[in-house]
Chain A
Amino acid sequence: MKWLSLLTNEWIKIFSRVRTWIFLALPIIIIIGVAVYDKVTTDEAENNNWKQQLTQNINDDKKALEEARKNNDDDFYIEMLESNIKQNEYAIANDISPYETTAWQFMKDMAPISSLIGLFVIVVASDIVSSEFSKGTIKMLLIRPYSRWKILLSKFLATLGFAFVMWLAVIVASWLVGGLAYGFGGMDQVYLTFTEDQQVKERLIVEYVFLNIGLEFIELTVLVVLAFMISTLFMSNSIAIGVAMFTMFAGNIIVTLLATKDWVIYTLFANMDLSVLIDGQNQLIKDLTLPFSISVLAVYTALMLALTFIVFQKRDVKA
């Protein structure tokens, strides 16, 4: 009944802020900017000579590989060079140009924009609870005939909704911009990746793109829950933004430091970057798989949400 109006209220509050519109506009401007820049600077002729270019790359990599073996360099580096060489040789042999851009390829290239969405969503999620405490507006909201959990739930759903809108806006924008710039075709375009036994394998770009945007939304949800929890626990949006950003960006560094420990795979950090698991390449921890990581995230999300609601329900409001 009236309960939905709580959600409407939160939604209105989010979109009454100027920053929300900046958050929405910025990724779209960047996407357009990248496409325009690429169009202006790319030399078509060079792309047509891609085989020559790849041969050059292979030769360079081979030299680097010899050097690396001599110096007993890191295994990781050596493996990377080997796979690059294999991939490029396969591309030449099977006539698959890595430089051909389509709407789908463009969307795949734009995937890193999700970090930016993550950042903005963290800001909104961190703010939606703690700013009401710091401004004192929370008490005007809590004295209404609604249990506290309903009020918190409305805030949570509004933030998720905002994350969804951001995510959708970026998908639609990158598809549209990509399509307008490079044509909407390319559903059948493939890219090269590896099977588990290190054989080169072809995969549809469309498949990657869809899988990736699905995983991005899972990552966003976890970030929302994390920022939401910290902001409720500490009633401070700067702590919430800090911790969530730290998890998002410094996570890899921590995982690298802890990589030798068995339990690292059960940490939140180790499972936050799902898209690297799509092809299982460049993975920091070899044991992780998609189903495993998603399960770990689900458990963390449930625990964090439970803690958030329990603490919010009991808190004395002195704002």
Chain B
Amino acid sequence: MTTHTLELKNLSKKIKNKTIVDDLSFSVREGEIFGLLGPNGAGKTTTIRMIVGLISITDGDVFINGDNIRGNYEKAMERVGAIVENPQLYDYMSGYKNLMQYARIMPGVTQERIDEVIQLVDLEYAIHDKVKTYSLGMRQRLGVAQALLHKPNVLILDEPTNGLDPQGIYDLRNYLRLLANNGTSVVVSSHMLAEMQLMCDRVAIIQHGKLVRIDEISNQEEEADVKVHFQVEGDLLQAKKILAELNPELVIEDFGKEIIVQTADMKTIAELNKQLVLAGILVVGIQRKTKTLEERFLEMTKKGGDVSEVAVPVNE
């Protein structure tokens, strides 16, 4: 039986008659990395704010480790770590003193744990400098550190990769995986679709405050999502015509120097290859490609939205 550490039940938020989060329900399992994906203004941050009690809930409930945050906030928040939008820290104190602020008020944080977390986010070299001298990425690292201090079993990170360099993102991803393997539930929101695909076990796609669907990342290889790319030399249009005549049931497109056929069946692929070769067309490469989460996401949320517009992380 799977245990759910975080449960949203028909969660809604209205501000001045505008529905920002609309009847959102999902459950996050113990030990999984759960993504919240949606275009700008979809309501990801608003949802997270409700989960951690920063804003009131118009309707619905949030349960953390079985405790309703509306009824038993202190108990529910005890094992939660979070970053909501950018981590804001006390500029006039050192990174270390900032961490101490949170270490002091959270249960069970030892000196060893503090040192361990600092090492984990690679900030030893600057931990005693004032935070006002920190770069964006260093602040983000410190933000991650404060969220991890008390070993939460529900970790909520709103755009955690914002400002991190590739090494930092890589390290974070690995660390989150390690945490998840040890039973922590991690909720991440991000604009970076490829990022989500690499990081998450499941992704909830949210648009206009509504849940569109939840995708399992691991078994996403559905028939319609797999395409085979044939790289050919010679007359591309001729090749496409031949294949189309011989296989009227398949969807066949051409792009650049490639013919793209929508199929997942190995036999069909071999057959197509044979047909091309017999027609005297040189096949120099065959590639099977799965539609990325990004493509599916764009497909689903497309409303004149441009790829770059959605895919580029925003530094607020």
Chain A interfacial positions (CB closer than 8 Å to B): 2, 5-6, 8-9, 12-13, 16-17, 135-137, 139-140, 142-147, 314, 316-319
Contact = CB atoms under 8 A, between A and B. Distances in A.
A5 B106 CA distance: 9
B54 A135 contact: no
A19 to B, nearest CB: 10
A143 B54 contact: yes
B232 to A, nearest CB: 56
B238 interface: no
A139 B74 contact: no
Contacts of B56: 314, 316
B175 interface: no
B104 A16 contact: no
B88 A137 contact: yes
Given A2-B107, A13-B90, A16-B90, A139 B102 contact: no
A137 B104 contact: no
Contacts of A144: 77, 102, 105-106
A135 B91 contact: yes
Contacts of B53: 142-143
Contacts of B263: none
Given A9-B101, A140-B89, A145 B54 contact: no
A49 B34 CA distance: 88
A142 B84 CA distance: 11
B84 A143 contact: yes
B128 interface: no
Interface string B46-76: 0001001111100000000000000001111
A4 B52 CA distance: 22
- Tell which of A8, A16, A139, A319 has the most Cβ of chain B within 10 Å: A139
B84 A139 contact: yes
Interface size class of B (residues with CB under 8 A): 20 to 34
B161 interface: no
Contacts of B55: 316-318
A146 B54 contact: no
A2 B105 CA distance: 6
B74 A317 contact: no
Q: Which applies to chain A's interface (DSSP): helix, strand, loop or mixed?
A: loop
B99 to A, nearest CB: 11
Contacts of B73: 145, 147
Contacts of B80: 143, 145
B146 interface: yes
- Tell which of B87, B89, B90, B146 has the most Cβ of chain A within 10 Å: B90
B104 A5 contact: yes
Interface of B: 49, 52-56, 73-78, 80, 82, 84-93, 97, 101-102, 104-107, 146
Contacts of B93: 13, 16
B78 A145 contact: yes
A143 B84 CA distance: 10
Contacts of A135: 88, 90-91
A146 B92 contact: no
B104 A9 contact: yes
A53 B179 CA distance: 85
A12 B101 contact: yes
Contacts of A2: 105, 107
B100 to A, nearest CB: 8
A125 B46 CA distance: 30
A296 B56 CA distance: 35
Contacts of A6: 105
Contacts of B88: 135-137, 139-140, 319
Nearest to A146: B74
4 tightest CB-CB pairs across the interface, nearest first?
A136-B88, A316-B55, A145-B77, A5-B104
A288 B106 CA distance: 50
A159 to B, nearest CB: 17
B90 A146 contact: no
A140 B54 contact: no
22 contacts: A2-B107, A5-B104, A8-B104, A9-B101, A16-B90, A16-B93, A136-B85, A136-B88, A137-B90, A139-B84, A140-B102, A143-B52, A143-B53, A144-B102, A144-B105, A145-B77, A145-B107, A316-B54, A317-B49, A317-B54, A318-B49, A319-B88
B110 to A, nearest CB: 14
B303 to A, nearest CB: 26
